[in-house]
Structure 1
Amino acid sequence: MNHKEIAERLIDLLGGEDNIISAAHCATRLRLVIKDESKIDQEKVEALDGVKGAFSSSGQYQIIFGTGLVNKVYEQFAKMLQLDQKETVQHNEAAKQKMNPLARFAKTLSNIFVPIIPAIVASGLLMGLLGMMKAFQWVSPDSGLFKLLDMFSSAAFIILPILIGVSAAKEFGGNPYLGAVIGGILIHPSLLNPWGLAEAKPEVLNFLGMPIEMLGYQGTVIPILLAVYVMSKIEKWTRKIVPNAIDLLVTPFLTIISTGFIAFIVIGPLGRGLGTGITNVLTFVYDHAGPVAGLIFGGAYSLIVLTGVHHSFHAIEAGLIADIGRNYLLPIWSMANVAQGGAGLAVFFLAKRAKTKEIALPAAFSAFLGITEPVIFGVNLRYRKPFIGAMAGGALGGAYVVFTNVAANAYGLTGIPMIAIAAPFGTANLINYLIGMGIAVFTAFITAFVLGIKEDEKKN
């Protein structure tokens, strides 16, 4: 496979260099903002060597190559287009300009939370290791090793406002280091740390006749998002009116002091209440709708993935972990993802053409590891009926994990890798998660197999 030739051919099929506004890539897809998508030769793009599917979504034309290959193709693609030298708008901003308001909001949350997933996953895995060490009495809870691991595992959640502050400031166009400072203010040691505390009561500070609770925002999500959004607006406005000669001194000072007061007086309490309200509503639905909620969410999640809005759920999941210490949404999403893999396996056994089988099998196993784009866009959605089968599997699997109260202690991992962040809640939690996976995969496979596929001779 010649990556340079693929990139050259791709540029031609996309309507030429002038039709490509900007480009980026994720773990599996080449993401492009195209000036005029009517100039794209869709059939020939999908027929290119290594391409597993292509589609337009969230203001971007996305071409699925799969993990590893997409990096090599993008490297040649970027060289030919001289992307690092072109004076074009930032790729994310270019993509947002083509989105509707809801999709733009979801994309913003995605851009903020996706970069910090590794930190959350690492903490979740460490918590799992700590839980096993405690359950099986591998080491004493008073040992130095246990105490150090306890520190390591909780750190990311304690400093979550700082992590979000940096990422959000980048997304909102502010200084990321000022965003980190705002996050640091919200978790300052002078404030009572509510992380892991149940009944502790904070001191009340009298500021200009207003009572301010000296309560920290460790582990919270919405307060820091709102605070950094306001901070970025203040910073931009201040920079416009402050002379360049004193900008370095005046702008950061006014930005931090203004945002700090606003955060403690207005944003903090408002954000905390809003976050708690969202958690309470979701928990109410989860407790009272039960398996019906799992059935609906598990079945509909794959449709939500098509819109790209699913990335915005990370903010809600982080709030659940902060408020109640468990993420009961992730197991539902996981059922939908592995169900796509089950339907992809059905396509592999049903398909007669070698290229269809070549794409379907690795794409299905990729879904079992939590990466669903290749099997959704490259296989199941192409033949439609397997996608319906996957929705059925996700629905039944979602209903089961809600019925058995399966939960995780982090977000960002689904499928087989999620075992590591489901295990900390006990053996029953883990076993029910595995049973749910079995239900989702089996239902999707059988439904997709019964519905069958119709291979398009010309298209394939």
Structure 2
Amino acid sequence: MGSTYRKTAEQVLEKIGGEENISSATHCVTRLRMVVNDTEKVNTEELENIEAVKGSFYSNGQLQIILGNGVVDKVYKELMAITGREEQSKEETKEDAGNKGNLLQRVIKVLADVFIPILPAIVTAGLLLGIDNLLTGEGIFFDEASIIDVYPQWADFADIINVIASTAFVFLPALIGWSTVKRFGGNPLLGIVMGLILVHPDLMDANAYGEAVASGESIPTWNIFGLEIQAIGYQGQVLPIFVAGIILAKLEVFLRKRIPDSIQLLLVAPIALLVTGFLAFIVIGPITFAIGNSIIDGFIWLFGTLPVFAGLLYGAVYAPLVITGMHHTFLAVDIQLTTAADGTFLWPILALSNIAQGSAAFAMYFVFKNNNLKGLSGTSGLSAWLGITEPALFGVNLRFRFPFIFAIIGSSIAGMFVTINQVLATSVGIGGVPGIFSIQIGSWGAFGIGMVIVILVPFLLTLLFARLAKPKSLNE
């Protein structure tokens, strides 16, 4: 098996122009990610004809080659062994790619760099909350009763699961703080501390702040030389710790360059945390809290006032957003909706869009005569149903175009349906078929119908079009 991965690495190396054309290389869950010196030397057509390669594309200055989960890391190790290079981190390769792209692209890239590393914790929490929902939800297995109502001995078990599952959301600012400070070159541990500062139990809980303002209750404040500072926490908030983390990292780097090594331990971290902490409570927190709530209120208004349009639109644009990388901007909105509102109405559409792309890829299995393409469509379809869509998107659907279009049609219809029926996810989970466990129990029926739509519509339309229209792209 090892020789197979080495052969793939050798083939990839040949088709991208050889070792001298690689500036830097790393990998993610499914893709080799390379910065090449000369894109003209890359033979994309022959590269994609390699058996293990499921597609390729350029993004953020990088050549990204889709190999799939469980394969990419082994091929990458062989590639590094062949070229005699040391393995590189994604951050090093991104830095090598330079600040290519416009301002919006660079912002999206930063958001991806910050939120993707914490996604495993969020997804795990979502899955565990799904188990908790099964144990505590009424009307699932018994009429108007839950499992713990009928079997009280399971109540403490459910309680422990809830504690484990909800921790990632309770201390969400600590996760974001760690990732943000790390991304901007600071000490990640200081990012964790900064996040924990913003959810300190001595502060008024952010979730109670709105109720206190509405009822006219007094808000606890600090008085520093006549300056009134509200002593409120930022539980479930994304923007406050994101901005504070950037400032903390930049300040720490600034101080380390100017303070002698012998006294850095005594001065750098205390000064950086103290200054950033004061700024967080005086300026950063209040401003970003208002901005974040305005963004969330805007989405709630749109999906509440124009559900047909909003659901249809988001269902249509999500897959194209994945291609550009802009879908990462909505991850922050999803996370905040799950913690600051009743749930997120965006994430169910994301899950349905992924299933739709998988269904279109599965349909191509019955269209292709080439065994390699059959294998690619089957494995990439399954991958999309489990939440990883790149192999289906770039390896099959975009390559032949019409499956991608029919997948979008299916996800648009399903997005409109679940939005009309007010389907909400209690957490961000696996963006595919297992995603139903992150959906509020009362919405399982509507979400299930949405799943039927995105399974049947893309599959049938793709299959019928291929059989009846016989598109020229199949002959390429």
* TM class by smaller structure: over 0.9
- Which position in structure 1 is the counterpart of 2:383? 366
Letter of the 1:183 counterpart: G
Matched positions, count: 456
The question of whether the paired residues in 1 share the 8 Å contact of 2:357 and 2:389 is answered with yes
Partners of 2:89 and 2:361 in 1: CA distance: 41
> 1:153: how far off?
2.6
- Which position in structure 1 is the counterpart of 2:55? 53
Alignment of 1:218-367 (within 5 A): 218-367=235-384
Identify which range, 120-129 or 312-321, moves more after superposition.
120-129
Identify which range, 208-217 or 323-332, moves more after superposition.
208-217
Partners of 1:88 and 1:291 in 2: CA distance: 40
Q: TM-score, normalised by structure 2?
A: 0.90
The question of whether the paired residues in 1 share the 8 Å contact of 2:240 and 2:285 is answered with yes
Letter of the 2:166 counterpart: S
Correspondence 1:438 to 2:455: no
Identify which range, 190-199 or 72-81, moves more after superposition.
190-199
Give deviations 1:158-178, integer Å, cap 9, x for gaps: 111111111111111111111
The question of whether the paired residues in 2 share the 8 Å contact of 1:117 and 1:412 is answered with no
Q: Matched residue of 1:408: which SS?
A: coil
Correspondence 1:156 to 2:168: yes
The question of whether the paired residues in 2 share the 8 Å contact of 1:161 and 1:183 is answered with yes
> 1:192: how far off?
2.1
Give deviations 1:395-418, integer Å, cap 9, x for gaps: 111111111111112224212110
Which runs of 5 or more residues in structure 2 are unaligned? 139-145
- Residue of structure 1 aligned with 2:198, choices 176, 186, 193: 186
Q: 1:292 to 1:458 in 2, by over 3 A?
A: closer
Q: 1:141 to 1:314 in 2, by over 3 A?
A: farther
Q: 1:164 to 1:120 in 2, by over 3 A?
A: same
Amino-acid identity (%): 38
- CA-based RMSD: 2.3
- Residue of structure 2 aligned with 1:209, choices 222, 226, 231: 226
> 1:310: how far off?
1.1
The question of whether the paired residues in 2 share the 8 Å contact of 1:386 and 1:448 is answered with yes
Partners of 1:360 and 1:142 in 2: CA distance: 43
Q: 1:113 to 1:300 in 2, by over 3 A?
A: same
Q: 1:142 to 1:456 in 2, by over 3 A?
A: closer
Identify which range, 44-53 or 118-127, moves more after superposition.
118-127
Q: 1:140 to 1:96 in 2, by over 3 A?
A: farther
> 1:355: how far off?
2.0
The question of whether the paired residues in 1 share the 8 Å contact of 2:344 and 2:425 is answered with yes
Identify which range, 328-337 or 405-414, moves more after superposition.
405-414
- Residue of structure 2 aligned with 1:128, choices 130, 135, 142: 130
Letter of the 1:63 counterpart: I
Letter of the 1:421 counterpart: S
Letter of the 2:238 counterpart: V
Q: 1:198 to 1:131 in 2, by over 3 A?
A: farther
Alignment of 1:132-143 (within 5 A): 132-134=134-136, 135=138, 136-138=146-148, 139-140=151-152
Q: Matched residue of 1:205: which SS?
A: strand
Partners of 1:100 and 1:162 in 2: CA distance: 30
Give deviations 1:216-249, integer Å, cap 9, x for gaps: 1122110000101111121122222222332222
The question of whether the paired residues in 2 share the 8 Å contact of 1:158 and 1:195 is answered with no
Q: Matched residue of 2:32: which SS?
A: strand
- Which position in structure 2 is the counterpart of 1:407? 424
Q: Matched residue of 1:90: which SS?
A: helix
- Which position in structure 1 is the counterpart of 2:141? none
- Residue of structure 2 aligned with 1:451, choices 465, 472, 475: 465
Q: Matched residue of 2:211: which SS?
A: coil
Which runs of 5 or more residues in structure 1 are unaligned? none
